[in-house]
Every structure is written in structure tokens, then in C-alpha cells.
Amino acid sequence: MIPPTHPRYRSLLEREKIVEGAREGYVALQGLIAQGRGECFDYLIGEETQPFAQRAIEAAAAALLAARRPVISVNGNVAALAPGDVVRLAKAVPALIEVNLFYRTREREKKIAEILRRHGAEEVLGVGEDAACTIPELFSERRRVSCRGIYTADVVLVPLEDGDRTEALRKMGKTVIAIDLNPLSRTARAASITIVDNVTRALPRLVEAVENLKKDRSQIQDILARYNNSAVLAEALLHIKTRLEKIASEML
Ligand code: PTJ
């Protein structure tokens, strides 16, 4: 039991969710490593949603609302950390939800779909025979996607993604929105819009941004035209540099 007064309460709670998901067999063991890497970058950015992330969140909301066929891709870590937010976002846009796993097994697919249904999802794509289409140029199990979902989507939200698939989806002409704490990752660089933030903070803010933008859709094209992903990534790196310099100077 982690006491709520613990200075790292939130982070420790999230770690527990991932460990629990691994114990229950729907988080991949590699997901534990991914979480650790994420925690490290979260430390560096200051464990708060920074202005560059908020700008990307607003652009992501605009892209999702402008889409004809938006799809939210869900893996084991996202199912453990933010299943309710995924469902809320899918309803707000509205968007389809698809289970898409790097380390795909039938058992994990089913468990993740079940968790999403328990959180209110009506339909979950990408389970069993539904993952019948193939993303070209990919060799991992992640190449299998739903023909009604990611395969035909124009905008795909991929929280915690691997670089190869992001690149492959871009080559298919799709707009890819990534949520990745590591601004240096190939995913972050290959995505059309990269939210450098923790999925647990970014997803609720994305739901809020979608709800706000829905009230005045006239801003959507303007937000998309103004958005520059390289500038957002550069800002994330400079934020880390400045923050570390400040902390170091306070130690001297
Ligand atoms: O469930 P599966 O089989 O699809 O597998 C999922 C993982 C995450 C294991 C798989 O996609 C993988 O191996 O991913 P990587 O290559 O380790 O990349 C994960 C990225 O997510 C890294 O850049 C981490 O910094 C980042 N990350 C980890 N936790 C979070 C995060 N980004 C945002 N929020 C987090 N909580």
C-alpha cells in the first residue's frame, strides 16, 4: 500500500498498475521496461504537462475532429494506465478503438478488449479474426490490423508506439498522433503530431480539448495549419536542457 502523502505517489501508483497488468497477463514484460524508460523522461520534463505538450494536444484534438475515420490504437500499457480515458476520448470524438499489440497473443488481445468493454467501450476492433489486414513493410505482429480500423483510418492515435509502425503508417498516408515521453524516440520524430507527455496526463487533457473544440469547429483548420511538430520536439529538448541547467545551478 502506497501512502497518498508519498512525494512520488502518482508515479508509484502507475508503476503498480503496470506490474498488476503484467501479473494478470495483458501487459507485455517488455512493457515494464517501457514504463521505466517513460518514468525517466517524465522526471526530466518535470512530471507536468508542459506548454509544448499542450500545443500538441490541441493540434491532436483538431486532427481527430477533422478526421473521416479516426482510430485509437490500444496496447497493454495503455490498457493498464488509462482505459477509461481511451473510452471517453473515443466517445467524445467519436473514434473507433482498436487493440494493436507488438507482442500479440490471442489471450492478451481478449483481456485488453475485455478491460475496455468494462470501461464502457461498445466495440473493440483488432481482436482475433478481425485483425485480418496487413500494414506493408512491417514484420512484427503489429503489422496485423483491423480492415475496418487502422487499415482504413486517416488519423491514428498511437499512445506508446514503436518507431517502425509509426513510419509505416505515415508511408500509408495517415496522420499519426503519438503520445511519447521520449522526444528523441523514432516514434516522436516520425509522428505527424507528438505529445511529449505521460499518457495518464495527456489523455484527459485531450478529451477536454476535443470537447472545447467541438463547440467552435471553425478553429480546426487554423490550428492544424499553424502546427509545427519539429518545433514542438525542439522545444521539449530545450525545456529539458534549461530545466537541468537550473537544477544544477541551484546545487552549486
Ligand atoms: O502491449 P504491446 O505488446 O503492444 O507492447 C507495448 C510496448 C510498450 C512494450 C511496446 O510498444 C514497446 O516495446 O515500446 P517501446 O519501444 O519500449 O517504446 C515505448 C515508448 O513509450 C518509450 O519511448 C517510452 O519513453 C514511452 N513511454 C513509456 N511510458 C509512457 C511513455 N510515454 C508516455 N506515457 C507513458 N506512461
Q: Which residue has the higher pLDDT, 137 or 122?
A: 122
Residue 165 has pLDDT above 90, yes or no: no
Q: Is the CB of 207 under 6 A from ligand 1?
A: no
234 pLDDT band, cuts 50/70/90, is very high
Residue with CA at minimum distance from ligand 1 atom 34: 198
Question: Does residue 160 have its Cβ closer than 6 Å to ligand 1?
Answer: yes
Instruction: Look over the chain and give the mean of its residue pLDDT values, rounded to a whole number.
Output: 95
Summarised one tens digit per residue, pLDDT across range 192-225 is: 999 999 999 999 999 999 999 999 999 999 999 9
pTM score: 0.96
Q: Which CATH class is domain 51-237?
A: alpha beta
What is the percent of the chain with per-residue pLDDT over 90, rounded to a whole number?
88
123-132 CB contacts, 8 Å cutoff, 24+ apart: 123/96, 123/97, 124/97, 124/98, 124/99, 125/71, 125/96, 125/97, 125/98, 125/99, 125/149, 125/150, 126/98, 126/99, 126/100, 126/150, 127/99, 131/100, 131/104
Query: CA 146 → CA 14, 63, 249, distances in Å?
Result: 29, 21, 52
Q: CA 109, CA 112: separation in Å to the nearest integer?
A: 5
103 lines ligand 1 (CB under 6 A): yes
Amino acid symbol at 54: Q
What is the Cα–Cα distance from 141 to 198, expressed in whole angstroms?
Answer: 25
Q: Which pLDDT value is given to residue 1?
A: 73
Q: Is the pLDDT confidence value at 6 over 90?
A: no
Task: Compute the distance from residue 250 Cα to the ligand 1 centre, in Å.
Answer: 33
**Sign, CA torsion 117/123/128/132:** negative
Give mean pLDDT, residues 168-178.
96
Confidence (pLDDT) at 20: 98
Distance between CA atoms of residues 84 and 90, nearest Å: 10
Could you tell me the residue ranges of all domains in the chain? Answer: 51-237
According to the model, what pLDDT value does residue 164 have?
83
- What is the whole-number distance in angstroms between the Cα of residue 34 and the centre of ligand 1? 4
Strands (E), 63-170: 70-74, 96-99, 133-134, 144-145, 155-159
C-alpha to C-alpha distance for 145 and 161, rounded to whole angstroms? 14
**Higher per-residue confidence, 11 vs 22:** 22
49-100: per-residue pLDDT in tens?
Answer: 999 999 999 999 999 999 999 999 999 999 999 999 999 999 999 999 999 9
Q: Per the annotation, does 186 bind a ligand?
A: yes
Ligand 1 in reach of 77 Cβ (< 6 A) = yes
- Ligand 1 atom with the shortest distance to the CA of 162: 16
This model of the complex carries an ipTM of 0.98
Q: Does 139 have pLDDT greater than 80?
A: no
The answer, yes or no, to whether any atom of ligand 1 lies below 6 A from the CB of 40, is no
